[in-house]
Structure formats: C-alpha cells, structure tokens
Structure 1
Amino acid sequence: MSNEYRHILVAVDLTKDSHLVLKRALPIAERNGAKISIMHTLEPLGFAYGGDIPMDLTSIQEQLDGHARERLSDIATPHGISAADQHVVVGMPDSEIQRFAKERQVDLIVVGSHGRHGFALLLGSTSTGVLHGAECDVLAVRVGNDKTAAE
C-alpha cells in the first residue's frame, strides 16, 4: 500500500471547525502533490420533516444550497481551491461522501469528528459512517473541543 495520496476529499459541515479540518488536509496535499476537493452535504428538507409537509420545499432547498455554496467558497477559495473543486451535494452525508470518493478516485477523506461518547456515539456521526463505508483512508480530525477552540 502506498502512502502517497493523489486526491484528497475534505468533507466539511460549514461550521467554524471546517477551517481546522481543511488546515489539517492542506499540508498532506502539499507533501504529496495531491489535488484537494472540498464538499458539503445538505440533507434534503424532506428527510428532516419526514416528507409530510404539504408544500413545495424546492425554493427553500435552493436557498440553502446557495448559502452553502457561499460558505464553502469562503472556506476554500482563500486556500487556492478552485470553484470546480468545491462541491455541495444533497443527500445523506456519509453515503454521499463515500459515493463522491469512489466516483472521483479519492484516496484520502479528511472529515471532522467531535469525539462523542455515550448516547451521542450510539446515535452515530458522519465521521463514523464515512469510516465504516469508505474504500480509502480516512483521517478524522478532532474538532469542537476546548483544545481546538483555543487555536
């Protein structure tokens, strides 16, 4: 198995911690001469509300998509990641990240992890779902704790 990465996918949730996740991936990409793609996954509004809302949610979903694209650009563009390598997709985060990685021949996925314990761990997280279904290496970057908040 090679330690050389050619395509790194950074999956972010668009919180302030997203910068920390990208910051961890950048030197790995630089050392390996790897391409970086960055993505955010929006869950469909129908999933959140069980599809029982008797109204068309298309315009709201489009607004959420536009806002996500702006936030993703704010995170990625200052680091030289082109708009073509910034992706917002709609679906379940862990499966969309895995699908993207497989289709685009990603060999490293970098994702944030809150390091939850107890009930939160049992309920699962995106990073856990990605780890268990990925066909490539996964780097889970610890975020959202006192140490990273101080950085």
Structure 2
Amino acid sequence: MAVYSKILLAVDLSEESDQLIEKTRAIAQNNQASVTVLHVIEPLSFAYGGDVPMDLTTVQNQLDEHARTKLSVFSEKLNYPVESQQVITGHTESEIHHMAEEKGCDLIVVGSHGRHGLALLLGSTANSVLHGAPCDVLAIRVYEPEK
C-alpha cells in the first residue's frame, strides 16, 4: 500500500528549487503517486500595500507567462510524469493549502531555507504551509548556491 498517492510540489522557481527534485521524484516513484507542481506569484499590489496608482495588469501577465515557462522547464527536470502544472496568483501559503485540498493531496513538499535569528522569528513559507495544511508537509532543507 502506498503511503502517499497525490503529491503537491510547491516551488518558488529559484535556483534552490532544483534541490527538491531528487527527493520528490524518489517519494513519487516509491508510492506511484501523481505529482502536481505549483508556483504561486504574490500580486504586485501586495508588495506596494495595495496602493498602486497605476494598472499593473500587463506586468502581472508578463510575470505569469515567465513563471509558466520556468515551471515547464522545472517539471521536465523532475523526470517523472507531472499530472498538473499550476501558476496561481495570490497569497502563497493559502494558495498552497487551497490547491492541496482541491487536488486531494496527501503530501505537500516545500523547500526550507533553515533561517536563523530575525528571519526565523518572522516565519517562513515552509513554516506557514505546515500550519493549517490539510495533509502531511515535507520541508526539504535547501542551501543557497556558493558564490
């Protein structure tokens, strides 16, 4: 019996996202699980407190298209059948929770930067996803590339 049948892999599409591939693929293969890959784009209005004196629709659409292209490339690197690729605009943690519920996922995989000090006190995406998740969450430690 498979422990996990539906996996949601939530990625930020940074260079560190590639570090999630090997472990996610191994879990998916061992469980013959379906995989949905998700990237959430926070609306530009969030960055400016919602008070933007101009229409950002064109810029937001360009960000969406760029993310879809990067997500497609990322999904190919996974080298495992991807049931669905999703680019959604919204609040990251709530969109991850919503997608996991919508797809009936029993595992969410996210990257964790293992922050310390003030960043730890302020929380992280992985920590926020864990709290309120409708299923198990695997936070895989990712490391910034050496410069």
TM-score bracket, shorter-length normalisation: over 0.9
User: 3-state SS of the aligned residue for 1:134?
Assistant: coil
**CA distance in 2 between partners of 1:74 and 1:95 (Å):** 25
Structure 1, unaligned stretches of length 5 or more?
Answer: none
Number of residue pairs matched by the alignment = 145
**Contact 2:25–2:80 (8 Å) recurs in 1:** no
TM-score normalised by structure 2 residue count = 0.92
Shift of 1:94: 0.8
**CA distance in 2 between partners of 1:29 and 1:80 (Å):** 8
Tell me the residue number matched to 1:56: 55
- In the TM superposition, 1:35-46 aligns within 5 A as 35-46=34-45
Counterpart code for 1:46: S
Tell me the residue number matched to 2:112: 113
**CA distance in 2 between partners of 1:25 and 1:144 (Å):** 16
Tell me the residue number matched to 2:84: 85
Moved over 6 A (4+): none
Counterpart code for 1:73: S
Tell me the residue number matched to 1:4: 3
CA-based RMSD of the aligned residues comes to 1.6
**CA distance in 2 between partners of 1:10 and 1:105 (Å):** 13
Tell me the residue number matched to 2:13: 14
User: 3-state SS of the aligned residue for 1:17?
Assistant: helix
| Alignment partner of 1:70 is 2:69 | yes
TM-score normalised by structure 1 residue count = 0.90
Shift of 1:23: 2.0
- Identity among equivalent pairs (%): 52
**CA distance in 1 between partners of 2:22 and 2:56 (Å):** 35
